[in-house]
Amino acid sequence: MTRSNSHKLLQDHFRLDIRKNFFTARAPKVWNRLLPEVVQAVTLNTFKRHLDVYPRLKNQVAVMKKKFPDFKPGLAILQVGNRDDSNLYISMKLKAAAEVILRPLAYFFSWVLKCITALNENPAVHGFIVQLPLDSNKPINTEKITNAVAPEKDVDGLSSINAGKLSRGDLGDCFIPCTPKGCMELIRQTGKELTYLLKTNALAEEVSKADILVVAAGKAEMVKGEWIKPGAVVIDCGINYIPDSTKASGKRVVGDVVYSTAKERAGYITPVPGGVGPMTVAMLMQSTVESAQRFLEKFQPGKWSIQYNQLTLKTPVPSDIEISRSYMPKPIGQLAKEIGLISEEVELYGQTKAKVLLSALKRLKDKPDGKYVVVTGITPTPLGEGKSTTTMGLAQALGAHLHQNVFACVRQPSQGPTFGIKGGAAGGGYSQVIPMEEFNLHLTGDIHAITAASNLVAAAIDARIFHELTQTDQALYTRLVPLINGIRQFSDIQIRRLQKLGIRKMEPTTLTEEEMHKFVRLDIDPTTITWQRVLDTNDRFLRSITIGQSPTEKGFSRTAQFDITVASEIMAVLALTDGLEDMRRRLGRMVVASSKTGEPVTTDDLGVTGALTVLMKDAIKPNLMQTLEGTPVFVHAGPFANIAHGNSSVLADKIALKLVGQEGFVVTEAGFGADIGMEKFFNIKCRYSGLQPHVVVLVATVRALKMHGGGPTVSAGVPLPKEYTEENLQLLANGCSNLSKQIQNARIFGIPVVVAVNVFKTDTEAELDLVAQMAKEAGAFNAVKCTHWAEGGKGALALAQAVQRASQAPSHFKFLYNVELPVMDKIRIIAQQIYGADDIELFPEAEQKIILYTKQGFGNLPICMAKTHLSLSHDPERKGVPKGFVLPIRDVRASVGAGFLYPLIGTMSTMPGLPTRPCFYDIDLDPVTEEVNGLF
């Protein structure tokens, strides 16, 4: 076997045994089944009574299990090589506890250290030993290996730290090596006092004086029976092999003492095998149970050991960027460890951000989910409601103040509004994600990956049209299935296309001319192309362009457009996928156009699916950041909240729900108002994820409600009209109709609603009390005042407590509609029940699209309504709760890969433009400090 093959087998074995079996092999049933057998196995026939170690350990485990039913003491053993004596020791340990043994076929130093690191970090492991000696064809630094084991898990007591504690007498805070510990236990069982341990050159003479003799020379049958003092206690620690033709293996195990003659003189003697070995194993089990007990004393199972930042609040509240820079984030690797991630599941991007691998979800798959909370808002106004700030404040309150495991999950903001008119999206005041610059700019490059992938599809579409228009079937076929080393064969993606066409042939030379024609001709109708190029910049002049103007395109030009990157279907795919395999399937079934016969043309037909998956392989991993107070945040995906579903990724939510555990909380944010982001969260995101939410947090402000009550319009840079800064209960009461309607919208789905009223200094107590009263009358579980912008988590403490209580309340989650209903019926249900429309009106183009998509097999997809976010109706000027309107459906489009149809209500721009004075006027880099200035 070559070294490279050995290395591959080692890797395969490592993945199989350590990652799969080890981490799941701690079932208490194994302990219960094995312990009685072990008790019998370690009975020393030459002693007068059974040892009491195992029954005692079994009782201790039972006590731990009674207090913490899901707690499972765990022991791991790492073996390098295949020594006979090591195998014998390990076979004894296999009878004592559930364990996994790494038996590498070839030894590579980095693999052993990686394995040790993984075991050190795994909270399911409380005892961990490296079986010595290390058997390898390369030199090994044994001290370095044993010292790599975490001292608190070093149940063999071999690390320098444990040896040092032992030498200074810290017996309650260290582990004693198991063999000496076992010897002492055996001596204790005899009831005799220890005289001395033998280490001298005058062997026979000194041995004959010993009342207690412990032999660990490593030399077969070195001590003769006639040396033994009559009645002495003999403890033989040796494991040696001598030839024996009567054994199948040709050898047998003996100790360092000639047992056959020594037993005639000794009062007590340990046999080999079966003496010290079982006692050593018993001490190993005892140390492991002790380690588990120490673990429980320091850590509560399921609770993170996490450090929170203490906020120093200032009045007036400084700018967001000033606050962000005044707090030093914890090293992101430290945060990852605090929340239960292991090092091999985290890819660091500097000190403040990291990607979390999907292997974490696989490792935690059997762990129960935490509580799932979605933050949404009333219909947005230019005055702002503060959903992102509330999301962060609530997470900080639950974590830093109520000491609950909590994760916030939010979307990654687009570069377009960051440099355009809106600015950042990290929250604000003392409730934000830090560092804000990293959050709002490139982060880890996910949006750039989506840009590249989207434009690759666009390029593939036009290139395919061009080549089909300029080549014969035979020329196309020759180029699409080229000769490589004299052989012509189909790629995997081409085989999928053949199967889609009903062609079952695998040999390229056997296709008929008709089959060849069907295979090479996508026959795209350019007027049906729905796929656009993208750019993550607001650029109004790309809203409509003409492509193919170069002479090399031979006159094949067409009108096209650019969308902003976050409007790409690939962004929606990223947000809704649950893994790499699912993402590849979704990317492959994206429909980019129709053929001239009306058949859908997909990215799989274009042959680009695999390349898209490669471009997206890192973007699929959620990004880990933190809030000001040190609670974890996943920042992942950022789909448009109008033409897409406007929620962060399913994967981020799923990993977070596993990490927080059954009693923890995941707070995720839905874009725009409850009629858009929340409705899509329930009907699209939850439908695909299979997750059921526990609480809706509905965010409102007195100012915004006054605008819904008929308050005057506001203009940037102009002081607010007095209606918004002075008490006006009637105006506020009128506007609370919008709050009531959004509460009703949430309750349609069967979920309790907690209203968060963001307080401004101009709000009066009477106004705040009125909002709370009307919210409860509308069916809210509770309504609380929040000051988290000015006070951080402390200001959202009442909200967090209300959310905790609401999460325990009865809920009956249900979807708004059955996807099997006709497309028009699903649209009507949303329009009437969520928006309050009297009915819908289908434009001819929309009606034709519904017929086409139903014919193409897409009629059973959920609906993602694309309408203005500024009103419950299609008219952004109609505030409050509009009545008596018919919702116009101008067009219907399909995001088949993402998995929804999106009707267009009115004109929907997918490429924002820059204002007269964009934000970039104020943005610059300090060349000395390298700080970004003017971004917020």
Q: Point out the residues that are catalytic.
A: 93
Which sign does the torsion angle of CA 578, 582, 588, 594 carry? negative
At 120, the amino acid letter reads N
How many helices, marked H, and strands, marked E, lie in the chain? 35, 34
Distance CA 282, CA 289 (A): 11
Distance CA 635, CA 624 (A): 6
Query: Nearest-CA neighbor of 155 among 132, 130, 133?
Result: 130
Query: Nearest-CA neighbor of 430 among 386, 373, 487?
Result: 386
Residue pair 405/399 in contact by the 8 Å Cβ criterion: yes
Radius of gyration of the chain, Cα coordinates, nearest whole angstrom: 35
The string of DSSP codes covering 67-132 is H-TT----EEEE--S--HHHHHHHHHHHTTS---EE--SS--HHHHHHHHHHHHH-TT-SEEEE-S
At 688, the amino acid letter reads Y
Query: Nearest-CA neighbor of 676 among 742, 588, 590, 726?
Result: 742
Distance CA 275, CA 255 (A): 10
Whether the bond into 177 is cis, omega within 30 of 0? no
Please report, to the nearest 10 degrees, the dihedral formed by the alpha carbons of residues 642, 647, 649, 652 taken in order: 170
Cβ contacts of residue 651 below 8 Å, gap of 6+? 358, 361, 577, 578, 579, 620, 622, 636
Whether the bond into 693 is cis, omega within 30 of 0? no
- Angle, nearest 10°, between helix axes 276-298 and 53-67? 20
Q: What are 627's two structure tokens?
A: 């809030």
Q: What are 449's two structure tokens?
A: 């990956």
- Angle, nearest 10°, between helix axes 53-67 and 28-41? 170
DSSP 713: P
Residue pair 638/414 in contact by the 8 Å Cβ criterion: yes
Q: What are 676's two structure tokens?
A: 């858009």
Q: What are 916's two structure tokens?
A: 């007269």
Residue pair 464/602 in contact by the 8 Å Cβ criterion: no
Query: Nearest-CA neighbor of 916 among 537, 420, 544?
Result: 420
Q: What number of residues does the chain have? A: 936
Which sign does the torsion angle of CA 755, 647, 837, 385 carry? positive
Distance CA 936, CA 934 (A): 5
**Phi, psi for 925 (deg, rounded to 5):** -115, 130
At 190, the amino acid letter reads T
**Phi, psi for 871 (deg, rounded to 5):** -155, 150
